[in-house]
Structure 1
Amino acid sequence: MERQRLDKWLWHARIVRARSTAAALVESGHVRVNGVREKSPGHGIKTGDVVTIALDRSVRVLKVIGFAERRGDAASVTGLYADLEVPRE
């Protein structure tokens, strides 16, 4: 798989609990792909893209390193992204 819908990837990566929530997050402008605000849940992302997500009280910066066919358990998401956030001291 070369590309995947942004909302589907967010759901598979367990960033949100429901795909509809992922779509709403994107449509409301809380997601950037490679620094550009994305408003289309169907936007195709590819390996190497950097996805920035503004959640409740935090911002997550994730580099896409893979895709999944299905949503798995929490242990299965380790191959989907690399967390680029700098640890705070």
Structure 2
Amino acid sequence: MATQLHQASALKLRADKWLWQARFFKTRSLSAKVITGGHLRVNGTKVAKASYGVTSGDVLTFPQAKKIRVVKVLALGERRGPAPEAQKLYEDLTPEEKPVPKAPGADGKGRPTKRDRRNLDLMKASRVED
């Protein structure tokens, strides 16, 4: 009975540790802070404990920087290795975001200069005289 419990627990890894090993967060305490803040969902269920057990096949949803990440756990890591090794731990299911169009009319020039404003005033004045 005790060996069965040990084997079952060996197939799981703490959520904060997995997020850190997969290199989503720079430190394990940052990943724990996101989880305890109630910002992690495992298979659609909110998780508030950093010690929650994650297994392969679980789908995790969490905020990272300014976007929401959705990843599927493919494997449990043994260490925090280099990025190529960490990328083999998950499949990224994050939907592609459409780029936000730039504001029309600015054309990337920014604020008009004094010369531009004078020319604009001259054009307006010439229209009034016509």
Which range, TM-score by smaller chain?
over 0.9
What is the percentage of aligned positions where both structures have the same residue?
A: 39
Equivalent residue for 2:79, pick from 70, 73, 89 = 70
Determine which structure has the larger helix proportion and give its number: 2
Q: Which structure would you say has the larger Rg? A: 2
Equivalent residue for 1:11, pick from 17, 20, 29 = 20
- Give 1:88 deviation, angstroms: 3.7
Listed one character per residue, the Cα deviations across residues 6-32 of structure 1 (whole Å, up to 9, x for unaligned) are 000000000000001111110001111
Alpha-carbon RMSD? 1.2
Q: Give the secondary-structure state (helix, strand or coil) at the position aligned to 1:16.
A: coil
Query: Runs in 1 of length 4+ with deviation above 3 angstroms?
Result: none
Q: TM-score, normalised by structure 1?
A: 0.93
1:28 aligns with 2:37: yes
Question: Aligned pair count?
Answer: 89
State whether residues 24 and 64 of structure 2, in contact with CA within 8 Å, keep that contact through their aligned partners in structure 1. Answer: no
Q: TM-score, normalised by structure 2?
A: 0.65
Determine which structure has the larger strand proportion and give its number: 1
Structure 1 equivalent of residue 105 of structure 2:
none
